[in-house]
Amino acid sequence: MSNKLITLENISKSYDNHLVLDEMNLYIRENEFVTLLGPSGCGKTTTLRIIGGFETPDTGRVIFDGNDITKLPAYKRQLNTVFQKYALFTHMNIAENIAFGLKIKNKSKSYIDDKIKYALKLVNLEGYENRMPDSLSGGQQQRIAIARAIVNEPKVLLLDEPLGALDLKLRQDMQYELIRLKNELGITFIYVTHDQEEALTMSDTIVVMNQGYIQQIGTPEMIYNEPENAFVADFIGDSNIIDSIFIRDELVEILGAKFACVDKGFGENKHVDVVIRPEDIELVKPEEGTITGEVTHLIFKGVHYEMEVMANGFEWLVHSTKMFPVGEKVGIKVDPFNIQIMNKPESEDEEAVQIEE
Amino acid sequence: MKNKFVKLLSLPYLIWSAGFIIIPLIMVFYYGLTDKSGRLTFANVASITLPVHFKSLIIALLLSLISTVICLLLSYPLAMILASMNKGNNKLMILIFVLPMWMNFLLRTLAWQTLLENEGVINTILQLLHMPTLKIINTPYAIVFGMIYNFLPFMVLPIYNVLCKIDGNLLNAARDLGANEVQTFLKVTLPLSVPGIISGITMVFVPALTTFVISDLLGGSKILLIGNVIEQEFTLNSNWHLGSGLSIVLMLFIIISMIASAVFDKDGEGSAL
């Protein structure tokens, strides 16, 4: 892997005695698409603002390319931000908006003109130089905001929920656009979102945050398939999180029934949380299932049916392309590989446990 | 039906504006453009070129211009401080600022007369302290002083209003793109606050240009502004024709500054009051 470009060391930040970030440690590699993902108030935007230089952490250091930039003002940092509400200068036309950073750096007119052309082409808005920001749609404004940031050739682009204000279709288009841009530009993207689908689609690495702590860092596949705790499992996609007993290696008792699994090393007869994704549950004839239950809800979702099955006192969420009507007795079968075991938090407080790399 | 009712509601205002705005305006134009025998003439308007009238117009323009510039220089930093304070705190500040406006305009100006007089409060205190006394009253300084004092809130509020509306993310975006604090101010804050500045300038310049009370009370009878000349034509000389003619000239300047403010402040962003 390429070297670390940004390192956050023991970053803490609180507002009015409310702790937003607690001793956070994180590094971001060069040319990586990193997404900070979490519910509102988890500290993801604060983290981004600290990297961008709009907030100063109470404790800890921000290392950028080997230099401590904790106290460096925003305008001296070699990174640019795309703001949630675009933040285009309404008193300037598109060309002037894009040229803003370059004019400050006293670049020549021909250089600036070339850069404007290049940037507009990159975001598919050629010929928009003389338009005013107000006359553009939300998606177009967001692309101009991206163009305005990238002409400065930053080493890192910070994106603060840039697609939050766009409608669904546009958001999906922009996701592909962002991936394409990142690949063409070859720079590091740090992306903040609360939308898990967005995070899974675009990221090389996802940092799941909650209540000021990093819950898990990993590739989208790792985060989805092997969530390290109940919060991550619950936040990323739908899941069944069930209180279970880890009997011994490769055997777990879920709701009184014994399931084979592939995990080892959780001890013997230990209380654990088990995560099973709804699409990993196989509904079969009652006699073939590990446990049996009855379908209580059925919704058609297009790609699949969403069903709820009451079995051994737990409402199992099931996604399947096969339909079982409400009231039908079914058996539940799960492939050992699809049973994800997680340690239980030892106390309420530890539910937001910090995961060290 | 509903539409009719709404139209009916505007009736009092229509009567008001017809009776107290439109008819007086027509009368000003009638008197201004006729002589005592009722014949059409431009002599009243043209009399602005008489040295005594022209001088009073120039002095009025000069003093109101100086007052407007000083008001702007005082107001902008103040408005910035108010806008940067968090809500709640700044409400009290604004209240303190607007409070004098609730007192009668004449009373306030009379109070300044008492303060600035040769034997007034300020000079009495200076004498007690064995410091040289000031001769301010009945000078242009006193008039400028009175204008600034009376009209300052009209400059602060529109500027404060536009500054409050500027999205903090725009300033962050400017810093993010490499602009330091001075560059951020010059390239983002200042241009975005132009509507407020223009609105403030109009709201200070127009009343300052036309005032005759401030110059009467603080300038004695020594310094005549165009407002005083017009007032005297109506009251002392009872020459309504000349007074109206000069009013028409003054109106031209007001219309010019109104147009300027309309051009710069298309969205009405700066309108504070």
Cα A35 from Cα A188, distance rounded (Å): 11
Shortest distance, CA B184 to any CA of chain A (angstroms): 10
User: Which tops the pLDDT comparison, B212 or B267?
Assistant: B212
pLDDT in the model for residue B1: 58
Within an 8 Å CB–CB cutoff, is residue B178 touching chain A? yes
Return the SS3 of A22. Answer: strand
Tokens of B84: 């940067």
Domain spans in chain B, listed from the N-terminal domain onward: 48-238+247-264
Percent of chain B with pLDDT over 90: 55
Topology of domain A239-344 in CATH is OB fold (Dihydrolipoamide Acetyltransferase, E2P) (2.40.50)
Q: How confident is the model at residue B62 (pLDDT cuts 50, 70, 90)?
A: very high
Topology of domain A4-225 in CATH is Rossmann fold (3.40.50)
Among A80, A84, A88, whose Cβ lies nearest the Cβ of B176? A80
CB-CB under 8 Å, A90 with B192: yes
Pairing of strands A257-260, A305-311: unpaired
Cα A96 from Cα A119, distance rounded (Å): 13
Instruction: Kindly report the backbone phi and psi dihedral angles of residue A245, in degrees, each rounded to the nearest multiple of 5, phi listed first.
Output: -120, 125
Instruction: Kindly report the backbone phi and psi dihedral angles of residue A121, in degrees, each rounded to the nearest multiple of 5, phi listed first.
Output: -65, -40
How many beta-carbon pairs under 8 angstroms link A with B?
A: 61
Contacts of A101 in chain B (CB under 8 A): 177-178
User: Mind listing the pLDDT tens digit for each residue in B1-23?
Assistant: 567 888 888 889 999 999 999 99
DSSP per-residue string spanning A103-140: HHTT--HHHHHHHHHHHHHHTT-TT-TT--GGGS-HHH
pLDDT in the model for residue A325: 93
User: Mind listing the pLDDT tens digit for each residue in A125-139?
Assistant: 999 999 999 999 988
CB-CB under 8 Å, A91 with B192: yes
Q: How confident is the model at residue B263 (pLDDT cuts 50, 70, 90)?
A: confident
Cα A192 from Cα A198, distance rounded (Å): 10
Return the SS3 of A210. Answer: strand
Among A85, A90, A100, whose Cβ lies nearest the Cβ of B177? A100
Contacts of A185 (CB under 8 A, 6+ apart): A150, A157
Q: Does residue B39 register a pLDDT over 70?
A: yes
Residues β-bridged to residue A281: A334
Which chain B residue's Cα is nearest to A51?
Answer: B176
Enumerate the CATH 2.40.50.140 domain ranges in chain A, comma separated. Answer: 239-344
Return the beta strands (E) in chain A as ranges: 4-15, 18-29, 33-37, 59-64, 67-68, 79-82, 156-160, 188-193, 205-210, 213-218, 240-248, 251-254, 257-260, 270-276, 281-284, 291-300, 305-311, 314-320, 329-334, 340-343
CB-CB under 8 Å, A81 with B173: yes
CB-CB under 8 Å, A85 with B177: no
Which chain A residue's Cα is nearest to B168?
Answer: A87
B 35-54 residues with CB below 8 A of A? Answer: none
Cα A191 from Cα B192, distance rounded (Å): 29
Length of chain A: 357
Shortest distance, CA B110 to any CA of chain A (angstroms): 44
pLDDT in the model for residue B2: 67
Q: How far apart, in Å, are the Cα atoms of A15 and each of A19, A160, B172?
A: 7, 20, 19
Contacts of B191 in chain A (CB under 8 A): 91
CATH code given to domain B48-238+247-264: 1.10.3720.10
> If you average pLDDT over every residue of chain B, what do you get?
88
Q: Does residue B71 register a pLDDT over 80?
A: yes
Is the ipTM, as predicted for this complex, more than 0.90? no
Angle at B91 between CA B87 and CA B92, to 5 degrees: 130
Shortest distance, CA A342 to any CA of chain B (angstroms): 41
Q: What is the dihedral of CA B115, B118, B120, B123, to 10 degrees?
A: 90
Pairing of strands A33-37, A205-210: parallel
Cα A328 from Cα B170, distance rounded (Å): 59
Q: What is the dihedral of CA B4, B10, B14, B16, to 10 degrees?
A: 140
Shortest distance, CA A335 to any CA of chain B (angstroms): 50
CB-CB under 8 Å, B191 with A104: no
- pTM given for the model: 0.79
Order across the sheet with A67-68: list the strands: A18-29, A4-15, A59-64, A67-68
User: Which tops the pLDDT comparison, B232 or B267?
Assistant: B232
Enumerate the CATH 3.40.50.300 domain ranges in chain A, comma separated. Answer: 4-225
Best of B165, B176, B186, B188 to mutate (most A CBs within 10 Å, chain A) = B176
Tokens of A356: 């060290």
Contacts of B172 in chain A (CB under 8 A): 52, 54, 74, 81, 83, 87
CB-CB under 8 Å, B170 with A101: no
| Residue numbers in chain A where pLDDT is lower than 70 | 1-2, 346-357
Within an 8 Å CB–CB cutoff, is residue B169 touching chain A? yes
pLDDT in the model for residue B193: 93
Q: How confident is the model at residue B265 (pLDDT cuts 50, 70, 90)?
A: low
Contacts of A55 in chain B (CB under 8 A): none
Mean pLDDT of B113-136: 88
